[in-house]
Copies of this chain bind each other. A is one copy, B any other.
Amino acid sequence: MELMLTEWQTENLGLTVRVKETLFSGRSEFQEIVVVDTQEFGRMLVLDGVFQTSVFDEYIYHEMIAHVPLCTHPQPKHVLVIGGGDGGTVRETSKHPTVERVEMVEIDGMVVDACKQYLPETSEALRQNHSKVKLTIGDGIAHMRQANSLYDVIIVDCSDPIGPGEGLFTHAFYQDVFKALKPDGLFVQQTESPFYHQPLIKRLTKDIRSLFPICRTYLAPIPIYPGGAHCFTLGSKQYDPLNVTPRKLDFKTRCYNSELQKSCFVLPNFLQELLAGHN
């Protein structure tokens, strides 16, 4: 028997992988959670039918969502990760020597448990109870609204803006993010595909620009996501990734490097034009 799994990435575009084995399948209060072992991407987390992270390419996403904002900040100490249930973002964040504490607020405990069991490399920092990492299972939106500590960097490592991730793409949420950041703080969010989510990207860029003096978009190649390219949006109170001298990492990375830290912000014309329309 040959099993195939297809994600309909848009209404008219499907990405299909051959499946070796379904390792986990469950339904939480929030979503359907599946971990499959695939021929092409190795083990992969799938939420409500959407490919989230795979052993094949997770390092690209996690290095780019963590190191780009963290190297823009001259001395990030207190970091908040919203979402990121697979643990890859806190794994990368906790590698920074300047970082003293990484709070992580993930809404779905079943995602964390499944990843700790079936994606051991990605969830390494969670499995090993990394001393810097403090995991809370809870609502990131509520946490942000009530945040009483101020963060240097906030990383919004969310799923798509349908289902539990929806409220993380709103003006109200960005206001709470702004308030929870120190006067020189900055945040980043994964903001979907430059090809397939242009109205969303336009809207959230407008929202972030209305609050933060600096708003920058960057790109990374991610094979499991629609179109293979993915956007990240950075809102900052003081440090501009285009102007700062980024801190250098003192540990090995598989994708990220200091030149990519700059070049990832260079956008093709069609994306520049999309964003310019909403200045």
Chain B hits for A17, CB < 8 A: 12-14
Could you tell me if B228 and A256 are in contact, using CB atoms closer than 8 angstroms? no
Query: How many angstroms between the C-alpha atoms of A14 and B226 in the bound complex?
Result: 13
* CB pair A253 B269 closer than 8 Å: yes
Taken together, the copies of this chain in the complex come to: 2
Taking a contact as CB atoms under 8 Å apart, the answer to whether B228 and A254 are in contact is no
Q: By the criterion CB–CB under 8 Å, are A254 and B266 in contact?
A: no
Contact-residue size bin, chain A (C-beta under 8 Å from the other chain):
35 or more
The A contact surface, by secondary structure, is: mixed
Contact between A260 and B255, CB atoms less than 8 A apart:
no
Within 8 A of B (CB), among A179-221: 194-195, 219, 221
A57 cross-chain contacts in B, Cβ below 8 A: 195
- The 0/1 profile, CB within 8 Å of B marked 1, for residues 56-85 of chain A is 010010000000000000000000000000
Partner of A12, one of B39, B219, B256: B39
A254 and B271 alpha carbons, distance in the complex (Å): 9
Contact B269 A254 (CB under 8 A): yes
* Contact with A269, one of B194, B257, B263 (Cβ below 8 angstroms): B257
A250 interface contact, C-beta 8 A: no
By the criterion CB–CB under 8 Å, are A255 and B228 in contact?
A: no
Residue A223 is within 8 A (CB to CB) of chain B in the complex: yes
Contact of A221 among B14, B219, B260 (CB under 8 A): B219
What's the Cα separation between A223 and B195 when bound, in Å?
8
User: For the complex, what is the distance from the CA of A221 to the CA of B14, rounded to whole Å?
Assistant: 18
CB–CB B268/A260 < 8 A:
yes
Query: In the complex, which of the residues B4, B12, B263 contacts A263, with contact meaning CB atoms closer than 8 Å?
Result: B263
Give 1 or 0 for each of A8-25: 1 = CB within 8 Å of chain B CB: 001111111110000000
Q: How does the 8 Å CB contact mask read for A104-139 relative to B, with 1 for contact and 0 for none?
A: 000000000000000000000000000000000000
The residue on B at minimum CB distance from A266 is B263
Could you pull out 29 A-B pairs where Cβ atoms are within 8 angstroms?
A11-B39, A12-B38, A12-B39, A13-B15, A13-B40, A14-B14, A14-B15, A14-B16, A15-B15, A57-B195, A60-B268, A219-B221, A222-B228, A223-B226, A223-B227, A223-B228, A223-B229, A227-B228, A254-B268, A255-B268, A256-B269, A257-B272, A259-B266, A260-B266, A262-B263, A262-B266, A263-B263, A263-B264, A263-B266
The 3 A-B pairs at the shortest CB distance, nearest first, are namely A228-B228, A12-B39, A263-B263
